[in-house]
Structure formats: C-alpha cells, structure tokens
Amino acid sequence: MPLINLPAFSAELLADFESLGTLRVDTPVIQPAEPFLAMAGEDLRRRIFMTESETGESLCLRPEFTIPVCLRHIETATGTPKRYAYLGEVFRQRREGGNEFYQAGIEDLGDTDTAASDARAVGNAMRVVANRLPGRRLSVTLGDQAVFEAVVGACGLPGGWQKRLIHAFGDPKHLQKLLAELADPKAAGVFGPEVERLAIAGMLDDEARLVAHIGETMEATGYSTNASRSPQDIARRLKEKMELANTRLDPETLDLVREFLALDMPLAEAPAALFRFAEKSGLTLDGALSRFDARVAALAAVGADVSVIRYRAAFGRPLDYYTGLVFEVEAEGTPAVLAGGGRFDRLLTLLGAKEHIPAVGFSLWLDRIEAAIAASGGAA
C-alpha cells in the first residue's frame, strides 16, 4: 500500500492542538471491525476495508478515529475529563482523492458542561481551520439531533417509528420517504405475507399463543434458537411490524414535523424561532430548547463568530452515534467540508464503558484543507 505524504502544515496543527490543552494519542491502523459495523452508520460501513485475523476475527483498516480513541480510553481506564488529539491515516473507499488520507481532530471526553464543551468543539474547529486559511471567510452549518428527537417524541409516535425517524436524521430522502409512509402507511406495502397470515389467525393479539406457534414452527423445521433470535424476539418483531404498518400520523402533525425540518436561519435567530415553533405546535420541547439556548450563549462566550454559523433543523451527519450537536465547517470558495463533528454521549457506554461518559469532538480533512491552501495560492 503506497504511503501518502503527510501535509506540510501538520507540525503547526499539532502545536495548535497542544495549545488547546489536548493529549496526543495514536491508535493501531488495524482495528476490530465489529464496533464500526455496529455503530458507525451505513455510509461508513459501505466504505470500510475489511480483513480477517488468523483466528477468524473480522478486522478493518482504521476508517476514522473517534471509535478507536474511545476504545483506547476505556481500555486504559483513564479518568475524565480528558481531551485527546490525533493525527494519522484513515482508510475509506471514496469517490474523490483516493482511499487513504490523513485526518486529525480532538475528542473531548467526560466534561459534564454540555453547552461549554459543545461550544469549545465548534470554536476549536473554526480556529484550527482559520489558522490554516487566514483571511478566508468560514461558514458553519449546525444541527441538533436532540431537538429533532424531542420533536418526534412529543408527536406521540410509537417507539418503533421514533427509532426509524431518528435513525434517518441527516438523510433527507430517507426521512421524507418515512414521512410519506406515515401519511399513507398502506401505500408503503409494509405488511409481509407471514404477518398478514398471523393477523388473520388472531395470533398477533395473543402473545403467548404467538410465541408458542413460533416455537413449534422452529422446532418442526429444525431452526435452532441458539444461532438465531428466540421465539419471544421474533414475536415482538412481528408485533412491531404490525404496529408500524398500522400507525398513521394525522395531517396536522405531519405538517408540523415538515415545518420543523424546513427551519433554516442564522444561528442567532434560531432560539427565538424554535421557541415560536414549540409555542405554535403545542409540543413540549423545553429541555431540548433550553440546552440549545445554552449552547448559543456559550458559543458567544468563547468568542466564536456566531455570524458565520447557520442552523438547519434537518441537518445531520451520516454516523449513527451522534446524539445532539452536529456541525460542519467550510471555507469560502471551497466546495468540500473541511471539518465536522458533534456530540456522541451514548457511544462510550455502547463500547463497554462502565459509567456514562459524555463526549463531543471533531475531525479535520487534511487533504481537503491542503487543497484549499493550494487553491488560494498559499504554501501548504
């Protein structure tokens, strides 16, 4: 595998990271594949380079740093709060710029002041990009998955539908498809023949009878429960399918969800606009909106240029582990995203941490920054 050149500005970037109070860490290039396959989202899963160990364990070339840095933190039993910085190669199948490139970033683990640490992440990302591209106007797109989750939850949808919509956040086409299904569920053809047959037999309303029927069927066909889901798991899934297929959201509520997703404005105007939306819709969003307000105030407090930040209610990033803030940084005249990140409060627990560890971070696309420097006539 040919080596690519480390960007010339890397030493200065690491000095920037050190001045921000971070500890530089590195992680192995070969990583266990399972955490990425389970937690990183379809967009990343499709681009991973897979391999296998001598014992048959699924491995992959490191596609990003957030999961490896979190795993390292858990394995070393390091206390929090901790701010880690990294710089190294990552490997993904990409449409532009080759399949191996350098990425750098900061992961901020364990700070319980959500607003302050969110603001620090956005402000730091803006600062390190601005230091590489002096004189270039930045633009930042900011979204908040927690606010979207609050809107979906307040609409009173069943848990299965809430999960589906939240999973689709940041994928506009998929999200609109799901909303269309909620408007007219029969048009989506959700019912499978087995679900329909069991519904006609009246088993979906009698869980004990349904579980017994599934167990008998599995035993008769030699379908081992040791290598698959149990009859109880299958019964729950069948009932969930029926519930999803039978759910229809009234037109007024669907219009509210779509109105929310259409919100797009300068960040300074967003708190008032979100409050007006909540008041008009009658949805209880107090907790999510107070956290949003606190973050906007914290951004101003850390000196971030709020005038270049735009809030888009439908904006998300294609990684499944984000839970709140999401953002991306671009520079004027540059077509590609140069930095991006967000909050991932559930990730460390899912990776095996014994206690809840709040977390936020961002990564920098160094090849794109290098290209932007070159395009502006500067020396990388």
Residues with Cβ within 8 Å of residue 40, at least 6 apart in sequence: 63, 64, 67, 319, 320, 321
Token representation of residue 120: 């620090």
Contacts of residues 261-266 at CB distance under 8 Å and 24 or more positions apart, as own/partner, are 261/175, 261/313, 261/314, 262/313, 262/314, 263/311, 263/312, 263/313, 263/314, 264/310, 264/311, 264/312, 264/313, 264/314, 265/310, 265/311, 266/307, 266/309, 266/310, 266/311
- Cβ atoms of residues 62 and 91 within 8 Å: yes
* C-alpha distances in Å from residue 259, one per residue of 146, 150, 178, 273: 17, 15, 16, 11
- Binding-site annotation: residue ranges: 64-66, 92, 103, 107, 317, 321-322
- Cβ atoms of residues 263 and 313 within 8 Å: yes
**Which three-class secondary structure state does DSSP give residue 109?**
strand
**Residue type at 35?**
P
CB burial of residue 4 (10 Å; 0-12, 13-18, 19+): middle
CB burial of residue 299 (10 Å; 0-12, 13-18, 19+): buried
The number of beta carbons lying within 10 Å of the beta carbon of residue 208 is 9
Sheet with 30-32, side-by-side order of all strands: 30-32, 58-61, 50-52
**Residue type at 56?**
G
The angle formed by the CA atoms of residues 71, 73 and 79, to the nearest 5 degrees, is 150
Rounded to a whole number of angstroms, the distance between the first and last alpha carbons of the chain is 24
- Cβ atoms of residues 68 and 27 within 8 Å: yes
- Cβ atoms of residues 235 and 203 within 8 Å: no
- Cβ atoms of residues 377 and 14 within 8 Å: no
Token representation of residue 342: 């967000």
- Binding-site annotation: residue ranges for L-histidine: 64-66, 92, 103, 107, 317, 321-322
